[in-house]
Amino acid sequence: MKTRITELFGIKYPIILSGMSWISVPHMVAAVSNAGGLGILATGPLSVSETRRSIREIRKLTDKPFGANATLMFPGAMENAKVLLEEQVPVINFALGKGDWLVRESHKYGGKVVATVVNTRHARRAQDYGVDAVIATGYEAAAHGGDATSLVLIPTLASAVSIPIIAAGGFADGRGLAAALSLGADGIAMGTRLMTTRESPLHETYKKLSIEKEIGDTLYSTRFDGLGCRVLDTPAARKAIRQGLSIPKLIAAIPNSYATARMINVPWIKLFIGIMASGWETAKQMAFLANAFKAIRIATEDGDCANGVLPVGQITGMLKDNPPVAELFERIVAEAEGASKRVAAMMN
């Protein structure tokens, strides 16, 4: 397959691994890149030294292009983003912040930068300061999708910007890839589909749940991590959303923030002072995130169904198996070609 995305990144297939914390780890990134897509390392739960080690590990596992992400509002993200530049990561994906400096510095060594956006205003602004492409995240997506569905968002952005578009949210098979290309996208990003593959480190308990669930078995709320977030519908997720940032959860955020500080290797008191100095709204958001990080981590790594919460997209209801990444990609491409031929035949 040949699209503007395959040409931009030098990859075989226009399929991107979404940067998912505790899932998009080095061996998963390499598996996707080796299969012909673009793996993206999730740096959210990593310290600066862990980010650097992870990048170097990926380079030992693959000689293919890869990327890494930085969610700029998260604690430690700016420091990790600087490591990505120092290590000259081929593709940098940023979200929830202004990444013009990433564009400027990465372009100096020939790197590419992709902004994650959820609306036309963000996409145009990203294009204005020189990003090479955007990931457009629809409402169907796991975690932080936008208000518009991919069916509406993708063609809207395709009419608004001239840079390549990667569609995210609602894509799990070749029919989705063909649809995304028809809507004006140049590739797709998949998280939920790729987290249920052989190479994925997602705990087997949640892989099984993801396959068993239907398309209606997700919850979307701002009361889990403070942002609009889609998660798997489980009793633990319902409880977390019901409690929101109640007094007990606000108190729980304090020890959970200790874990966050250890995770990113920042002194807790420095993290705490910085957050409090930012004002109540920022402090509240960070409390939400501290609790959410723990819930996501114990779901992903430990398979904890009593307390864990897993972000998934609505396509969880389309999952029927747990294939190797390479096999999945070959299947998706074959399905996309078949879908395109069926549509072409109908148009004659």
Q: Does the CA dihedral 55-107-83-98 come out positive or negative? A: negative
**Cα–Cα distance for residue pair 66/57, rounded to 1 Å:** 12
pLDDT per residue over 83-95, tens digit each?
A: 999 999 999 999 9
Please report the pLDDT score of residue 289 as a whole number.
Answer: 80
The answer for residues whose C-beta is within 8 angstroms of residue 254's C-beta and 6 or more apart is none
**Cα–Cα distance for residue pair 92/115, rounded to 1 Å:** 8
| 10 vs 285, residue with greater confidence | 10
Q: Which residue has the tokens 């530049």?
A: 85
Alpha helices in 44-189 (DSSP H): 48-61, 77-86, 100-108, 120-128, 150-160, 174-183
Q: 10 Å Cβ neighbour count for 160?
A: 14
188 SS3 class? strand
Please report the pLDDT score of residue 264 as a whole number.
Answer: 58
Residue 293: closest CA among 325, 252, 334, 336: 252
**Cα–Cα distance for residue pair 208/33, rounded to 1 Å:** 25
Please report the pLDDT score of residue 100 as a whole number.
Answer: 93
Please report the pLDDT score of residue 1 as a whole number.
Answer: 85
Domain boundaries, the chain: 4-203+321-347, 214-302
- Opening angle at CA 91, ends 282 and 33, nearest 5: 115
Please report the pLDDT score of residue 277 as a whole number.
Answer: 58
Per DSSP, the residues of 133-155 read: EEEEE-TTSSBS--SS-HHHHHH
Per DSSP, the residues of 76-93 read: THHHHHHHHHHTT-SEEE
Say what the alpha-carbon torsion angle 115, 116, 118, 121 is, to the nearest 10 degrees.
-10
- Average pLDDT over the chain reads 92
Q: Are the C-beta atoms of 85 and 112 separated by less than 8 Å? A: no
Q: 40: which strand partners?
A: 67
pLDDT per residue over 278-337, tens digit each?
A: 665 767 767 878 889 899 999 999 999 999 999 999 999 999 999 999 999 999 999 999
Q: How confident is the model at residue 187 (pLDDT cuts 50, 70, 90)?
A: very high
Average pLDDT of the segment spanning 162-173: 98
Q: How confident is the model at residue 153 (pLDDT cuts 50, 70, 90)?
A: very high
Please report the pLDDT score of residue 300 as a whole number.
Answer: 96
Q: 116: which strand partners?
A: 135
Q: Which residue has the tokens 């890839």?
A: 177
- Judged against a pLDDT cut of 70, whether residue 267 lies above it is answered with no
Question: Which pTM does this prediction carry?
Answer: 0.92
Average pLDDT of the segment spanning 168-175: 97
Please report the pLDDT score of residue 51 as a whole number.
Answer: 96
Whether CATH 3.20.20.70 fits 4-203+321-347 = yes
Q: Are the C-beta atoms of 193 and 172 separated by less than 8 Å? A: yes
